[in-house]
Amino acid sequence: MRGVTIIGIGSTPFGVLEGKSLKEIATIACLDAINDAGIDKNDIDAFYLGNYISGILVNQETIAPLIANSLGLRKDIACTKVEGACCSGGIACRHGFLLISGGFCDIVLVAGVEKMTSASTEKNTAAIASGMDWEQEGKTGLTFPGFFALVAQRYMYEYGCKMDHISSVCVKNRSNGVKNPRARFRKEVTLEDVLKGKQIVDPLRLHDCCPVSDGAAALVLCRSDWADKFTKKPIDILGAGQGLGTSTAYEMPNLVSIGATVEAARQAYKMSGIKPGDVDVVELHDCFSIAEVVDCEDLGFFEKGRGAFAAFDGETRIGGKIPINPSGGLLSKGHPVGATGAGQMYEICKQLRGEHENQVKDAEIGLVHNLGGSGAVSTVHILRRR
Amino acid sequence: MASKNIPVMRCQKCNSYYVPVKYSCNSCGSRELEIVKVDGTTLIYSHTTIRIPPEVYRDQVPYDIALVILQEIPGLMFTSRVMCSGENKIEIGKEVVFTGTDELGYRFELKRGMPDV
């Protein structure tokens, strides 16, 4: 298996990108990554694009060829869209990794994009809900926020914590987001603000839920032995995993653990030889406050039942035991669904290059966790600077 | 009063149980699955109140959704609408009674009578 290295990164801000189309934001992020890598666009051997619901929201499909043509990529390369709801960007990255590590390509462009804020709330809610098993569970009226509310309720019951502990994740991530120019929300909130917020889906309130956003992010992946030719700050992908969970809440063997995350992490740790204790910085899928709590346990950073207390005690802040989501996470950046996974990779690369606006000191090893559907699919990537 | 006549799917070859509809048995691969009615004690495993629904359910909010376990068949759980009335509040561990299925799937209601211990 050949080594794979990230040599270029690009990202638009996440948020309301008024007047900018899906094609425009994806093109900008890809061009930024290509320029950052210092490659010629004709060096690119394949293109993977993560996207979730552009067909429903902006009536545009076949978007991998669309963006490839917008960029003027070669006509002899495969341009493919991948979809796994909120995990689409992570899956695109992993597919690029597989093509290079398998020896089929030398340089691959991977990206994620979503354009959401031009569609109505009703259209967004309906479109996002299409990621559930509609035949089985969506029909009951359960939503994605509802799924995570069920997890939160059970989590508090099993481990004796309160929303004070779980929602401390929001306070920490919103504080981190203040410094991040790519974040949609850049204002701090207090725990009192969160606990008095509008009830959305009991027990989750407004700040416990990430906002929809527009955004795009892109990475140029390259065979490791070529990386030095292009960049002084290569970031090696040491491990990449993808796991399958259940498509419904009622099939989950354990509601307070996401099986897809556990499996993706197992693969990535095994491939890389890295252990949770070796990791310096983490970007994980905090679509809801409770998601970060469950994720940080499933990824092996805390024992089951400890995640919420750890956040409350400050162990996941910068300077704590393991800094989680120094970018502000989805709770601050917003969640342009198909772009999120690539955006998380972008943030960790900035950290490992020592260039992040909210830098974790001397970060050498980073972990990226992306989750899609109601626990249906997850990817984990482990990165290290040279 | 325990829950009666809850429709579930049973594999005719290996006796595994599923929430309908299942097109093949995940244990043995058989496609010989049949609907059977089961009885038992049904309890709240987790619950939530939906206040921002998919558009089609806009006129129904707020509504309670719960995961309900059937004690007699471990591993079988139902994502369900649950009706609560009066002071009787939905909580994990409380017993519910099956009231039927419709286009929204399973429906239960909180068991009336003696307060839960």
Q: Would you write out chain A's pLDDT as a tens digit for each of its 386 residues? A: 899 999 999 999 999 999 999 999 999 999 999 999 999 999 999 999 999 999 999 999 999 999 999 999 999 999 999 999 999 999 999 999 999 999 999 999 999 999 999 998 878 888 898 889 988 899 999 999 999 999 999 999 999 999 999 999 999 999 999 999 999 999 999 999 999 999 999 999 999 999 999 999 999 999 999 999 999 999 999 999 999 999 999 999 999 999 999 999 999 999 999 999 999 999 999 999 999 999 999 999 999 999 999 999 999 999 999 999 999 999 999 999 999 999 999 999 999 999 999 999 999 999 999 999 999 999 999 999 99
The catalytic residues of A are: 86, 335
Mutate to test the interface with A, among B46, B61, B107, B108 (most CBs of A within 10 A): B46
Answer whether B6's CB lies under 8 Å from B106's CB.
Answer: yes
Tell me, yes or no, if B27 comes closer than 8 A to chain A by beta carbon: no
Tell me the nearest-neighbour CA distance from B75 into chain A, angstroms: 7
Tokens of B14: 């290996």
Contacts of B106 in chain A (CB under 8 A): 140
| Structure token pair of residue A1 | 């298996």
User: Under CATH, what is the fold of the domain A136-210+239-385?
Assistant: Peroxisomal Thiolase; Chain A, domain 1 (3.40.47)
Homologous superfamily in CATH for domain A4-120+213-236: Thiolase/Chalcone synthase (3.40.47.10)
Q: Identify each DSSP E strand in chain A by its residue range.
A: 4-11, 46-50, 78-82, 107-114, 199-201, 204-205, 215-223, 235-244, 281-283, 365-372, 377-385
Which among A135, A157, A201 has the least Cβ separation from residue B21? A135
Lookup: tokens for A332: 């601050």
* CB atoms A201 and B78 under 8 Å: no
How distant is the Cα of A26 from the closest Cα of chain B, in angstroms? 28
| Orientation of helix A144-159 relative to helix A163-177, angle to 10° | 120
Q: Cβ separation of B45 and A255 shorter than 8 Å?
A: yes
CB contact under 8 A, A142 and B79: yes
Mean pLDDT of B70-77: 95
B24 and A CB contact within 8 Å:
no
Beta strands in chain B (DSSP E): 3-11, 17-18, 33-40, 42-50, 63-70, 77-83, 95-102, 105-110
Query: Is residue B113 left, alpha or beta, with left meaning phi > 0 and alpha meaning psi from -120 to 50?
Result: left
Q: Do domains A4-120+213-236 and A136-210+239-385 have the same CATH topology?
A: yes
Residues from chain B contacting residue A126 (CB–CB below 8 Å): 54-56
If 0-12 CB within 10 Å is exposed, 13-18 middle and 19+ buried, where does residue B25 land?
Answer: buried
Size of interface A-B (CB pairs under 8 A): 94
ipTM above 0.90, yes or no: yes
| B63–A141 CB contact, under 8 Å | yes
State whether B54 and A150 contact (CB < 8 Å): no
Least confident range of A170-184, B76-90, B96-110: B76-90
Instruction: Answer yes or no: do A143 and B80 touch at CB < 8 A.
Output: no
Tell me how far apart the terminal alpha carbons of chain B are, to the nearest angstrom. Answer: 16
For chain A, the domains span: 4-120+213-236, 136-210+239-385
Q: Evaluate whether A340 touches A330 at the Cβ level (below 8 Å).
A: yes
